[in-house]
């Protein structure tokens, strides 16, 4: 059934196509292969065949929820040991998915978001205090490092009433190091042959056990602190929902083990990708003076002279939002997602798929398909997201948050947080890129601009 799907020409026994693959950048490696082989292709590794899809038409077909569903495979499956049947890594058939989804979805409603807004502002203030110090000292800022501090504190404070104190330390919080360790390990397990894994990954495996134990200990402490304090009244946040809310119809509750999985899931999924999205956006803004000027003019106009924006004033930053969308188009920080056939079907009317067969959608390449994005897909241009430009494009060609029932539950949260922070930073600083910097994208399942620094100057108060 795969014979119509192209693959790289030279294939080695057992190792398949992985030799010559770049172990630290498997996604960018697949992008290179995809450019050569076209909108659907396969790569073989260790006796297994993986199908990749990026053509706009095929990806739109895979978005058909009647015939396809999320597949928990590759990197996502490798996170099962740490995230278990938490929302992100749950199999579709696991009852805890629907249960947790129904219990937690109201935590992302408009009212809930409006409630998080003041906490998001608190954390953003910690960021600008740190950047003011750097600016005064004439030092550059570590963009991904500081965006990670910001987004981790934001999800921890809003979702769990917890303060990691990231801004009080110079190094990343150990929770972040442990998380990066487990994400990188999950990625490496895809590029090491299973029979050799016990040898090649022996020491990495031990470290991963230690990282997972650290994550578990951290969330257990967060939960224990809440249980101890809960007599003093509810926060109404995600953790309260997990601990106290029963399913509206069945009355069922989340088990303590599942709560542990959900807390890890939300602490990780709730910050890592948003941090990357903000970092890429700041990279492009610092390199695109016209875009930056328009974005800043919008902030000045919409927010006026008020010290801090109200909740409703964030979504009004339409152009800033387009800057974010365009950054997520070029570098969707969760760069792919897998789809499996619910029943025997034919993908795009051409490729037969058996029930359970699956393909990985390469969002980075889908977002560059000239059929949807025109002849210069590499160009950064936020005007691709004006309402009329969006209407003129086919559906299902922009998927940074996945698709269907298992799409990102935190989308509005991420967009509100990121738009708010970009607005605050644009209003406060001029951004000066390091002229020698060329964008390098680091991969640890998620994407992050590697080594990105910026110099800042405060805008004159009159502005």
- Report the alpha-carbon distance of residue 297 to residue 237 in Å, rounded: 35
The yes or no reply on residue 281 touching ligand HEM (CB under 6 A) is no
96 versus 208: smaller Cβ distance to ligand HEM: 96
135 versus 272: smaller Cβ distance to ligand HEM: 272
**DSSP character string of 64-99:** -TTTEEE---HHHHHTHHHHTTSTTT--TT-HHHHH
Tell me if 101 is assigned to a ligand binding site: no
> Measured from the CB of residue 237, what is the shortest distance to ligand HEM in angstroms?
11
The yes or no reply on residue 410 touching ligand HEM (CB under 6 A) is yes
Exposed, middle or buried: residue 302 (CB in 10 Å: 0-12, 13-18, 19+)?
Answer: middle
The yes or no reply on residue 156 touching ligand HEM (CB under 6 A) is no
141 versus 408: smaller Cβ distance to ligand HEM: 408
> Measured from the CB of residue 73, what is the shortest distance to ligand HEM in angstroms?
9
| CA angle (16 as vertex; 181, 53 as ends), nearest 5 | 75
The yes or no reply on residue 448 touching ligand HEM (CB under 6 A) is no
Take residue 75 and report the two structure tokens written for it. 């990197």
From the list 151, 158, 273, 274, the catalytic residue is 273
- Member of 223, 314, 409, 421 binding ligand HEM (CB under 6 A): 409
- Report the alpha-carbon distance of residue 92 to residue 85 in Å, rounded: 10
- Member of 16, 270, 423, 449 binding ligand HEM (CB under 6 A): 270
CB under 6 A: which stretch of 37-45, 177-185, 397-405, 425-433 binds ligand HEM? 397-405
Given the structure tokens 């095929």, which residue do they identify?
58
The yes or no reply on residue 39 touching ligand HEM (CB under 6 A) is no
Angle between helices 272-287 and 256-269 (to 10 degrees): 10
The yes or no reply on residue 187 touching ligand HEM (CB under 6 A) is no
- Member of 113, 282, 357, 408 binding ligand HEM (CB under 6 A): 408
**Cα dihedral 173→264→106→276 (10° resolution):** 50
Q: What residues from 308 to 367 belong to the interface with ligand HEM (CB under 6 A)?
A: 332-334, 337
Q: Which residues, in sequence order, are CB contacts of 209 under 8 Å at separation 6+?
A: none
21 versus 152: smaller Cβ distance to ligand HEM: 152
Q: Does 401 qualify as catalytic in the annotation?
A: yes
From the list 175, 265, 408, 413, the catalytic residue is 408
Q: Does 273 qualify as catalytic in the annotation?
A: yes
DSSP state of 172: P
> Measured from the CB of residue 292, what is the shortest distance to ligand HEM in angstroms?
20
The yes or no reply on residue 269 touching ligand HEM (CB under 6 A) is yes
The yes or no reply on residue 449 touching ligand HEM (CB under 6 A) is no
Residue among 365, 462, 378, 373 nearest 54 (CA): 365
CB under 6 A: which stretch of 136-144, 216-224, 289-297, 403-411 binds ligand HEM? 403-411
The yes or no reply on residue 400 touching ligand HEM (CB under 6 A) is yes
- What does the H/E/C string look like for 231-292? HHCCCCCHHHHHHHCCCCCCCCCCCHHHHHHHHHHHHHHCCHHHHHHHHHHHHHHHHCHHHH
CB under 6 A: which stretch of 272-280, 312-320, 369-377, 390-398 binds ligand HEM? 272-280
Q: How do strand 446-449 and strand 441-444 relate by DSSP bridges?
A: antiparallel
37 versus 100: smaller Cβ distance to ligand HEM: 100
Q: Which residues, in sequence order, are CB contacts of 57 under 8 Å at separation 6+?
A: 39, 348, 371, 394
Residues within the interface to ligand HEM (CB under 6 A): 70, 76, 87-88, 101, 155, 265-266, 269-270, 273-274, 277, 332-334, 337, 400-402, 406-410, 413-414
Name the residues annotated as catalytic.
273, 401, 408
């Amino acid at each position: 059934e795969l014979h119509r799907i192209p693959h790289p020409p030279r294939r080695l026994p057992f190792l398949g196509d992985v030799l010559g693959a770049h172990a630290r950048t498997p996604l960018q490696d697949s992008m290179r292969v995809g450019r050569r082989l076209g909108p659907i292709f396969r790569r073989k590794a260790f006796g297994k065949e993986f199908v990749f899809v990026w053509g706009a038409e095929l990806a739109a077909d895979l978005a058909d929820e009647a015939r396809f569903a999320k597949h928990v495979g590759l990197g996502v499956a490798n996170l099962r040991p740490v995230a278990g049947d938490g929302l992100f890594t749950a199999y579709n058939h696991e009852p805890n998915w629907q249960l947790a989804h129904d219990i937690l979805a109201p935590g992302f409603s408009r009212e809930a978001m409006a409630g998080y807004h003041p906490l998001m502002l608190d954390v953003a203030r910690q960021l600008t205090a740190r950047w003011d110090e750097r600016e005064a000292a004439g030092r550059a800022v570590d963009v991904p490092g500081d965006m990670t501090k910001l987004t981790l504190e934001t999800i921890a404070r809003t979702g769990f009433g917890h303060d990691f104190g990231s801004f009080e330390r110079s190094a990343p919080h150990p929770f972040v190091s442990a998380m990066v360790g487990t994400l990188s390990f999950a990625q490496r397990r895809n590029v090491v042959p299973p029979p050799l894994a016990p040898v090649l990954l022996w020491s990495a495996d031990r470290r991963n056990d230690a990282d997972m134990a650290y994550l578990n200990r951290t969330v257990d402490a967060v939960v224990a602190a809440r249980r101890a304090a809960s007599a003093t009244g509810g926060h109404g946040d995600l953790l309260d929902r997990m601990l106290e809310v029963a399913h509206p119809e069945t009355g069922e509750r989340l088990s303590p083990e599942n709560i542990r999985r959900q807390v890890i899931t939300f602490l990780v999924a709730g910050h890592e990708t948003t941090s990357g999205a903000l970092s890429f956006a700041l990279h492009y803004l610092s390199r695109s003076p016209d875009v930056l000027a328009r974005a800043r003019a919008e902030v000045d106009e919409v927010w006026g002279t008020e010290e801090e924006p109200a909740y409703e004033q964030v979504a009004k930053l339409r152009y800033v939002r387009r800057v974010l969308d365009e950054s997520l188009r070029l570098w969707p920080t969760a760069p792919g997602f897998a789809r499996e056939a619910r029943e025997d079907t034919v993908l795009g009317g051409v490729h037969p798929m058996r029930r359970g067969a699956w393909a990985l959608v390469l969002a980075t390449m889908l977002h560059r398909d000239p059929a949807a994005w025109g002849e210069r897909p590499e160009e950064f241009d936020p005007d691709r997201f004006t309402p009329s430009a969006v209407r003129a494009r086919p559906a299902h060609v922009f998927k940074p948050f996945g698709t269907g029932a298992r799409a990102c539950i935190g989308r509005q949260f991420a967009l509100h947080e990121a738009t708010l922070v970009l607005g605050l930073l644009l209003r406060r600083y001029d951004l000066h890129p390091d002229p020698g910097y060329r964008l390098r994208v680091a991969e640890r399942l998620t994407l992050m601009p590697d080594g990105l620094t910026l110099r800042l100057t405060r805008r004159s108060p009159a502005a």
